[in-house]
A and B are shown apart, each in its own frame.
Chain A
Amino acid sequence: MKFTDFVITETAGNSVDPLGYLKPSGEVSSGLFRPFTVLSNHPAYQGFLAFAVSFLENSLKLGQKNFPRRVRDLEILWGVLSVHGGDPVINVTKYEPLTGQESLCLDDAKKRPALYARLNYGALGHYGSPSTTWRILQPNGAGLSANGSALAEAWQHRNGFDFADLANRWMAGADLFAEKKLDDWARGFRLAAEPEPAERKAWQTLIRDLCRREPVIAPLWENAVHEDILALGRDGDTYPGFFPGLLGHYKAHPELCRRIELCDRFERLSGLVQFVFECEYVRRLDYIKKIGLSANSLPSQVTKDVREAARAFRRVQGPREFWALPGTLENATDYPTMVATVLAHHSAHQRGKGTSPFITGDAIAVQDRVDGQKFMQFFKSVADAPETLVSATQWRYHRNWHFERAHLWQQYAGIH
């Protein structure tokens, strides 16, 4: 008899990118912090991954099908050490039962398929692609770069211990819990352990090289934003001050400011369009059809806001148009035209993916894509105060632009 637990999933909502935001948001976001994804939580994972690649390079080729499983072999070792040291790591609940055992060998772990489930859900899957952006790994699976080798070497040696020694014993079948200095290993290598100077230096080099390759974003690392500006981005009430705060801080760097402003304008327009789309979806729900949507002056307000947001986006998007939607909305004159444009965009995007649009005509074609009750609460609040629509939708659908993550990486590298 086993029980199921609440599983944190990365897929937060019930939308499968129905409006095709994935590519344009990636384009906008990569103008600032290209090495980060929403799954980037701690730089130590990248150090571990570099070590794992370095360690396995001698025995396996990257392209071999067992490579992800061998990385997981090592990740279990590191994960159990982290949990032993009191730190949660990815897959912590899978490692916790292991720490209660009297002995632990790799063969024991291999008998637990759950440890090898979802091989992408771990250091390799979450940090593999960002590691190529950092140039820790070479593109096309060609192995570690020179900086990557330096990071692997630095991560590997802490407190006078060489992780390769432990890894060799582990891979050879030794009992981890028979290790006399287990607590010392855990103290030195757990996720939250302080990096040693060599590792800090390796990260400083990686950051410096990134800035050299992409000088426009160099001020983000060399002149990081202060805590008071970061704090503005954490609450809906203060969020309207977040982007102005960033722009003020980087006002000496026009191209960087343009990219920051592009994030702001993307978020504003995408939020408004998402709101319109969800509104149209909810309007077609049976129980909403019966009671109707009481919108006051919202339709004219949202049309005006969408039009202005589209124009604002296009003004700062740069010479290369990478998102077609704003161009189709900047001249929308009335609510029905604007809605028709949004729905046509949605249909074209879904059909382009080979999937069904959520809405066809006056009917919902794909059920359960928007939580009607939650949406209605929000809708009522903005219908009562249409002047708050832009800021409310921007906060409701806001994105992570990675400034907090950069702060963590800088601390780890000892830059500030």
Chain B
Amino acid sequence: MANPRPMPSGEFLNFSDIFSAAVALAEDDPIEHIIVLTFEFDEQQLLNLVQHRALEEQKDLARSGLKLLSTIRPVVFYDARKTKPFSRLPQFLELHPCKTAGFSCHHSKAYCIVTRGAIRLVVGSFNLTFTGIFRNREVLQEWTWQSAESADTHILVEWIDFLRQHYLTEAQASSQSALAAALATLDARTAVWGIPPLRPNVPSHLLASGYGERSGLDLLAVRWNAWFPDQAPTSLFAVSPFFDENPAPHCLAEQISSRFPTLSRLEIVTDAANQANLSRAHFGKHFAPDQSALRLIPESISADERARIERQGGNSIKDLVLDRSLHAKVLLLATADGAGIAYIGSANFSRKAWLGDNRELGFIERIDNAPTLREVVLRALSVTPGNHFDELPDLPPEAPPKPNPEEIVEDSLFPGFIDYVVLAPSSSSDCFRFIVHGTQLERIVEYDIHWADLHLTFADGVSQDIPIGQFRNTLLGGRTLEFRNRQMADRSFWFPFQYAGEIIADRQALMHSSSWDWLAFYLNPDGADEGEDPESTQWLDGRNGAAPPAAMLDVDREANCVIAMQRYLSLFSSIEGSFERRLAESTKVDDPSARQRAIRSQVIDPLSGLATLLQREPVQQLADRLFKLGELGLFVKSLAIQTPVSERTEFTELVAGIRSALDAAKGSETLAADYHAFVVGQLRSAP
């Protein structure tokens, strides 16, 4: 039988620190994938996350960050009814609004950061919001895996399996979902590390509810019977901010005691502000009054806690109002001698969370000293002594005095007939269109639908053709479609859309308005927009003396064509050095699959984007395109020569694409024909 884990110390740790640590190491260990499960999120915190900035920053998306997204595509699953306009979010941020059954929600909270050398997972009670990360009282469990020797690798295996079973299908609308790519990385990583398959009798598990046929509570009972086949629990300790609005007739406490009839004590911890929502009915009939306890966290912060926070802030917060709300969810189920199970996660102490359709995710572990752990929890949450059970009424008030912000209210105007919306290429050249998937698509006419400033018209769930330029106009602020009800024009609902695989594949070209813009960005991909950051240490990083910021690049597209070409070639030669360095860095990566990904994301994909841009953008003379493509082709060939033989196949498709583009740009001029023959001849001998 596996042993329980060491007793938790009640240490404080915020997700912002975990994330910042990953960012701090990113130069040596770059971030490859980010996967987020949450109930809701704040745009600012999501922007910071995807841009690898400190999560508390209040800056908008920088130009460099916008384009970073075309390399790393974070995937965010959240509750569909928490979709807002998201006017500050960029394209290619993969948002998946999860639909759940009526009056339930996608409530799981998990954060997975995959770097080249490590996999970090955080499971807990906090949403990706400012209050969730920096203000509330939350609980979390974190893991960092770097090899098969890392602790709790069975949790990694369970996590991968959980994602594959329950989220890959959610993401299927995007035929090239970043989740599929992330799972491929995770599979490859665990295979290289040699992580064994799941073993029985491990001391901890992920515990989900609302995803399959078995409820979270029934799974908890299964785990108890596996770990403690000959013992029965006697005490239940629960921390929760929210409870069933109407606990009668079979409240959660009764449901638990029906599965564990030997329970003889129930202790609930919550905020003092929540007391008015509670009643004796929430404790159920199984527990007598002398077996019931209600512990409270006072509304005003204690002197000790304030001192701790002030110390952390360098004693500079004399005027700061410290409002903290409980949002942690903890459950301790224990025998009389202290053995048992500890749960932390997203599930409130409610039927909906443990027995209903809410999607919940938590972590359970075997413990052997529940009383000590209970003390750790009480201390960490600043719970005051005293039992307030006697103050509770028999039944709760008809309407809870303190509303639950996570309560899902059904809205008859919500276009629930829509499953998802996909942006896909149209049959017309350089045009896109939206395709709505769902049932009762005839109901689309009930809504005026807008994408940014563009009014969309649908026939059979398919929109009119949209010129590609509209996409570039909405790189920021066009992540959602607005559905405005025609009967009640003040009621709007928003849907993020997914991208068809062709658009994902074309993202490098779509993020740049022209080859000049592409050059400007890659001349200084990290430096743009950092001038106004007073905390920036870029000036100490020796980068300030490099090329001018992209925005400063003065390009006169109307200049004499020879001068313009000279200017282009001059900039392109600057780019060559930068891509040679990128290739050299990428080929140094030890792990073969990571090396392949690095070469593709750092070299192949950006250069493919340039090739597409060169073919797509208008030119004064066809020869302009030919010369630019030719120089690109010759450079790609030289990069291929510099690449180890085993990795050169990565270049094959790119070279072939450039060759066919050269043929299309050949024209009839003698000089152009000679140049074409020269370049094609060179490319033919490409390795």
Residue ranges of A at the interface with B (Cβ–Cβ < 8 Å): 1-11, 15-16, 22-23, 37, 39, 41, 61-65, 67-69, 88-90, 92-93, 96-97, 113-114, 116-121, 124-126, 128-129, 132, 139-141, 353-356, 365-368
Contacts and interface: CB of A to CB of B under 8 A. Distances in A.
A128 B538 CA distance: 10
Given A2-B140, A5-B12, A68-B540, A89 B21 contact: no
A354 B56 contact: no
B213 interface: no
A119 B536 CA distance: 10
Interface string B530-561: 00101111011111110000000000000000
A3 B543 contact: no
Interface string B498-523: 00000000000000000000000000
Give the dominant DSSP class at B's interface: loop
A89 B540 contact: no
Interface stretch (B310-318, B427-435, B463-471, B587-595): B310-318
A189 to B, nearest CB: 17
A63 B540 contact: yes
Nearest to B144: A113
A6 B134 contact: yes
Contact of B532 (A7, A22, A39, A124): A22
A210 B367 CA distance: 62
Interface of B: 8, 10-25, 27, 42, 44, 54, 56-61, 63, 84-85, 87-88, 126, 133-142, 144, 305, 308-317, 320, 322, 324, 328, 330, 342, 344, 373, 376-377, 380-381, 476-477, 532, 534-537, 539-545
Most buried by B among A6, A62, A128: A6
Contacts of B344: 1
Contacts of A63: 540-543
A8 B306 CA distance: 11
Given A6-B309, A117-B23, A141-B542, A354 B60 contact: yes
Contacts of B311: 88, 92-93, 96
B537 A4 contact: no
Contacts of A3: 10-13, 137-140, 328, 380-381
A312 B377 CA distance: 58
Given A125-B537, A129-B539, A6 B324 contact: yes
A3 B536 CA distance: 30
Contacts of B87: 356, 365-366
14 contacts: A1-B10, A3-B12, A3-B137, A3-B381, A8-B312, A8-B320, A9-B134, A39-B534, A63-B543, A117-B18, A118-B54, A140-B545, A354-B61, A356-B87
A116 B28 CA distance: 13
B314 A41 contact: yes
A355 B88 contact: yes
A10 B12 contact: no
Contact of A117 (B24, B44, B59, B63): B24
A200 B480 CA distance: 59
B316 to A, nearest CB: 6
Question: 5 closest A-B pairs (Cβ-Cβ)?
Answer: A63-B542, A113-B21, A117-B20, A8-B313, A9-B56
Given A3-B381, A62-B541, A125-B535, 19 more contacts: A2-B12, A4-B15, A4-B126, A7-B135, A8-B312, A16-B60, A39-B534, A64-B542, A88-B311, A93-B311, A117-B16, A118-B16, A120-B535, A126-B535, A355-B477, A356-B476, A366-B87, A366-B88, A368-B42
Contact of B309 (A8, A124, A366): A8
Nearest to A26: B534
Given A5-B312, A92-B314, A11 B539 contact: no
Contacts of B310: 88
Nearest to B328: A3
B60 A355 contact: yes
A63 B126 CA distance: 38
A119 B532 contact: no
Contacts of B540: 62-63, 67-68, 124, 128, 141
A92 B88 contact: no
Contacts of A114: 13, 17-18, 20-21
A11 B88 contact: no
Nearest to B363: A1
Nearest to A368: B42
A354 B63 CA distance: 9
A118 B317 CA distance: 20
B354 to A, nearest CB: 19
Contact of A89 (B16, B17, B314): B314
A18 to B, nearest CB: 11
